[in-house]
């Protein structure tokens, strides 16, 4: 009788070792290596996720390959279509992650119902809830589609059989951490199970042209649980973000082989389900305080969409020798960098001040075009002088205090004019080559000092 071989696999990064170690050499995390049985397949070879999708395939010249553009499957949610790049691509494998209770199952059940209403058979596979529990959620969402099928199953072999029998046009797996493959001896949710099950689902999607959406759990840090290889295998990775105690949800694409990776969709959670928000700028600015020091508005680009967001700053004298620097919604390192520029180039004594910067509405911004708005907010709060409520600040701030050009300035200005703003402060190098709307004034600035002299009175 052959001796059973075991290996130790890291549950965070997938690193494999022949012996147990307290610290993983791959990701430097402690106590993440779990013992698993290294089971070979029936033909004596070990199972591999790199097996070909089509064993009979042969190399072809790239000039002779036909690039047929398959039509995308669109849903009634334009925000969902936007994040995917225009709709669902047949044969794609999409991973959706998010915190527990954020609304992932609700979103996918609504999408399934909309596709079923277009006479497309949909198979919703629930590994965490029974069919009756799924029916209760469907009743709450007023879903009544005869072509929406629900299967409460976790065995991958049975799932693949039902897909081959039903031949659906759309499949949802909720969630991948509950699905297991019998040939893999480790527990469901382990690195080996997630890797092998995702590989099999990818083969089903590519060979049959069926788009498959899989739900993934997230860790306490907010990243999708399981090996990083999981995100490399799928065609698109979407994150469903938002505070559980607030009604607004953000669907953000971080990987998309069929579209932009910077798109963002806004939804509002209501009793009857998720409703898309067509104009998020009005949502983010509806509770803005008029005439408050430390508040500015920036026109940020989320993919191809301009979004107007309020940035708030609070500067107060520090009671300790080491002042605090805190930021919500932006990179923490950006606040001390901009404060150093204001102190060196503008002359604001901020070294003994606590600084708190926040992006209102719960949205996260990471583009450099928001630098000028952050700097103006900090200076406005420090001087206790508010900016005009109909001003917008856009620009990247350099270490020498200069304002550098930004991309898509036309779309930003048009969005500001549509919402009734009167002035836009932008880099002077962005002024040429386009015509701004007649209802808005464009103020070109070269330095932070120039923007503060015009936008924030002493």
- The count of other CB atoms within 10 Å of the CB of residue 375 is 31
Q: In what order do the strands lie in the sheet with 423-427?
A: 391-393, 423-427, 441-445
Q: Among 446, 358, 457, which residue's Cα sits nearest to residue 400?
A: 446
CB 309 within 8 A of CB 348: no
By the 8 A CB rule, do 11 and 34 touch?
yes
Torsion of CA 82, 84, 87, 91, to 10 degrees: 180
> How many whole angstroms separate alpha carbon 33 and alpha carbon 444?
57
Phi then psi for 163, rounded to 5 degrees?
A: -65, -40
Determine whether the annotation assigns residue 105 to a binding site.
yes
**Is 392 within 8 Å of 441 (Cβ atoms)?**
no
The rounded distance, in Å, linking the Cα atoms of 317 and 330 is: 22
Determine phi and psi for 88, rounding to 5 degrees: -85, 130
Does 103 belong to an annotated binding site? yes
CA dist., res. 302 & res. 250, Å (int): 11
40 is in an annotated binding site: no
Instruction: Tell how far CA 128 is from the center of its chain.
Output: 23
**Beta bridge mates, 266:** 250
Report whether 102 belongs to an annotated binding site: yes
Q: For tokens 């469907």, what's the residue?
A: 138
> For residue 294, what is the DSSP state?
T
Binding-site entries for ATP: 98-105
Binding-site entries: 98-105
């Amino acid at each position: 009788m052959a001796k059973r071989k075991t290996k130790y696999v890291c549950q965070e990064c997938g690193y494999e070792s022949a012996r147990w170690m307290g610290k993983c050499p791959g990701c430097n995390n402690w106590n993440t290596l779990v013992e698993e049985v290294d089971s070979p397949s029936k033909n004596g070879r070990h199972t591999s996720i790199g097996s070909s999708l089509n064993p009979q395939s042969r190399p072809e010249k790239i000039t002779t390959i036909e690039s047929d553009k398959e039509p995308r499957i669109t849903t009634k949610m334009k925000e969902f279509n936007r994040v995917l790049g225009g709709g669902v691509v047949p044969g794609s494998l999409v991973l959706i992650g998010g915190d527990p209770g954020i609304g992932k199952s609700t979103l996918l059940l609504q999408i399934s119902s909309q596709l079923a209403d277009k006479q497309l058979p949909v198979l919703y596979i629930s590994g965490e809830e029974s069919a009756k529990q799924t029916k209760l959620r469907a009743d709450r969402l007023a879903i009544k589609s005869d072509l929406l099928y629900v299967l409460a199953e976790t065995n991958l072999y049975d799932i693949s059989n039902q897909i081959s029998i039903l031949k659906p046009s759309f499949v949802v797996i909720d969630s991948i951490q509950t699905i297991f493959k019998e040939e893999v001896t480790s527990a469901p949710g382990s690195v080996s199970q997630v890797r092998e099950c995702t590989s099999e689902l990818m083969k089903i999607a590519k060979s049959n042209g069926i788009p498959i959406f899989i739900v993934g759990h997230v860790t306490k840090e907010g990243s999708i649980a399981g090996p990083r290889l999981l995100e490399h295998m799928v065609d698109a990775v979407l994150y469903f973000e938002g505070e559980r105690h607030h009604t607004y949800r953000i669907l953000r694409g971080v990987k998309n082989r069929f579209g932009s990776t910077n798109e963002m969709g806004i939804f509002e959670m209501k009793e009857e389900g998720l409703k898309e928000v067509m104009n998020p700028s009005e949502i983010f600015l509806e509770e803005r305080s008029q005439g408050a020091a430390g508040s500015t508005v920036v026109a940020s680009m989320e993919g191809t969409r301009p979004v107007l967001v309020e940035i708030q700053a609070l500067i107060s004298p520090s009671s300790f020798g080491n002042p605090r620097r805190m930021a919500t919604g932006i990179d923490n390192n950006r606040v001390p960098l901009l404060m150093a520029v204001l102190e060196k180039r503008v002359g604001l004594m901020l070294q003994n001040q606590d600084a708190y910067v926040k992006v209102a509405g719960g949205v996260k911004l990471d583009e450099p075009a928001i630098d000028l708005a952050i700097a103006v907010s900090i200076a406005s709060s420090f001087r206790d002088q508010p900016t005009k409520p109909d001003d917008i600040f856009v620009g990247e701030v350099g270490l020498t205090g200069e304002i550098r050009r930004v991309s898509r300035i036309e779309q930003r200005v048009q969005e500001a004019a549509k919402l009734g703003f009167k002035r836009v402060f932008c880099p002077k190098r962005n002024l040429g080559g386009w015509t701004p709307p007649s209802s808005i004034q464009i103020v070109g600035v070269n330095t932070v000092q120039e923007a503060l002299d015009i936008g924030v009175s002493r």
